[in-house]
Amino acid sequence: MKTMASLFSATATVIPRNLAVSSSGKRFVGHSLLSSSSPPFLSFPTPKSNPRNRLTVSLQSPRAQSSASSSPSATFHGLCYVVGDNIDTDQIIPAEYLTLVPSKPDEYEKLGSYALVGLPASYATRFIEPGETKTKYAIVIGGANFGCGSSREHAPVALGASGAAAVVAESYARIFFRNSVATGEVYPLESETRLCEECRTGDVVTIELGESRLINHTTGKEYRLKPIGDAGPVIEAGGIFAYARKSGMIPSR
């Protein structure tokens, strides 16, 4: 059985092949992090659990449902919010809000209300409407290098706290992908095509994890997604500590 330390080490490498890596500290240029011969995911021990029924995450359901909302056969359905390339962590959650403590329920909710507030004014449609604390968009669709910039766990936490269930991007910054898996807040899924040019904000979409596909009901088109692999059970459990408890690596609470 893996130890907690080895799980932390492994999580650093549980990242898709085509991730963007930093060449200048802040921006990422799309080089492959792993060699073509490297496996896309490391193998985690599989915790014992009962099979789950197929679940749908509604727009009204907060991400705090954690494991109940993200089984391997889960379906995420709702409106999508489309962004472009190089969405950095300052745009996802500006530094001024990093004093909020996600472990405190009221501050977790407040953190979610600021998700993507740092986007430039060219995004006429806001991710969270004025006066609201939750987003109406269940799925964020991005371009290349999503989550680049400074390392902050608050970025995926803010998206999860806002009510979003998943991000689908062309590629990710390594640290954002790792933090998404470690916190269990959102599924960081990779598309095989450039979906940020295929979908528009407000389109109704469905993600079927078991089938690794995204369906755009507005346009009638379907797209293949890259399998989440062994990172899935960690996110499903609610993050790295919840997974470690579930797997018997650390004592249950």
Give the torsion sign (CA, 201, 205, 209, 213). negative
Tell me the two tokens of residue 99: 């004093």
Look at residue 246 in the predicted model and tell me its pLDDT: 86
What residues contact 21, with CB distance under 8 A and at least 6 apart? 28, 29, 31, 32, 33, 174
75-247 sits in which CATH class? alpha beta
Q: Please report, as a single letter, which amino acid is at residue 158.
A: A
Length of the chain: 253
Look at residue 223 in the predicted model and tell me its pLDDT: 98
Q: Please report, as a single letter, which amino acid is at residue 69.
A: S
pLDDT tens for the chain, 253 residues: list them.
555 545 544 444 343 333 333 222 322 222 222 222 323 333 333 333 333 222 333 322 234 333 434 555 689 999 999 999 999 999 999 999 999 999 999 999 999 999 999 999 999 999 999 999 999 999 999 999 999 999 889 999 999 999 999 999 999 999 999 999 999 999 999 999 999 999 999 999 999 999 999 999 999 999 999 999 999 999 999 999 999 998 888 887 6
Taking Cα atoms as reference points, which of 209, 187, 205 lies closest to residue 196?
205
